[in-house]
Chains A and B, each alone.
Chain A
Amino acid sequence: MRRTTDPSVQTTGDETGAECPYCGSTNTVREHPRGPSLCRSMHYCQGCEQPFEKFE
């Protein structure tokens, strides 16, 4: 069976460099293109070691 990418998880957002809302660091990585809501993505801050969400 051939699998295709689910288009609903495509995003135009960058995978790194989102500004952490807690410490302001941009040393962050995206963990998932979608969060608890379709208009957010999940990121992790290497600076303060906190997960956060980015509004997309």
Chain B
Amino acid sequence: MTDDTTPTDPSKAAVDGRHDVDVAFNPDADAGATPCAYTEYVERGDVDGLPATGEDATGLERAVWDALYAVEDPEMPVSIVDLGLIYGVELEADSSDEETAAGATAENDAHVRVIMTLTYTGCPARKMLTEEVREAAASPDGVASAELELVWSPEWSLDMVTDQGKTDLREFGLSV
């Protein structure tokens, strides 16, 4: 805009459509506020088996886990798998592909589904990380497509960090 210095004219703002949110101040509006008004907090469920590290994975699933291990937190040189952010990896043959029925090997067009969380719902690296993880999961030969499901339950905590992850964090100079 060229007229930044001009005081905001309400009628003009309405035309712009940029200031169409009612910002009237109400000191009691946040009386029952939680850290995020749009998140339903669920008590931590069964965390046996978490964090998922893919230690039993073989074949194509192994390749997906290896690709995920290569993804690091944007701020710390620690794998997101060791941070415990990955809750699960599911592989399924892409049944929508008609070539499969025609005889092509099912292993060549698997669909990967990664279930992951973030350390905080307000994580500023959300878009960057989820894109990177989805691309990593789709990278091994034999994976046709990958999708990522972001979950917030059970909530992530330091308990999810693997021993290797804790070692890496300390080496980086962070107390854990």
Contacts and interface: CB of A to CB of B under 8 A. Distances in A.
A54 B30 contact: no
Nearest to A9: B35
Interface centre among B120, B169, B174, B175 (most CB of A within 10 A): B175
The prevalent SS among residues of B at the interface is: loop
Interface string B109-153: 000000000011011100000000000000000000000000000
Interface centre among A18, A21, A38, A55 (most CB of B within 10 A): A55
14 contacts: A2-B27, A4-B30, A4-B33, A7-B34, A7-B35, A8-B35, A21-B170, A21-B175, A38-B120, A40-B174, A43-B175, A52-B174, A53-B173, A56-B158
Interface in A1-53: 1-2, 4, 7-8, 10, 18-22, 37-40, 43, 52-53
Given A21-B173, A21-B175, A55-B175, 4 more contacts: A19-B175, A19-B176, A20-B175, A39-B123
A7 B37 CA distance: 11
A12 to B, nearest CB: 8
A53 B33 contact: no
Contacts of B158: 55-56
B75 A37 contact: yes
Contacts of A39: 119-120, 123
A52 B175 contact: yes
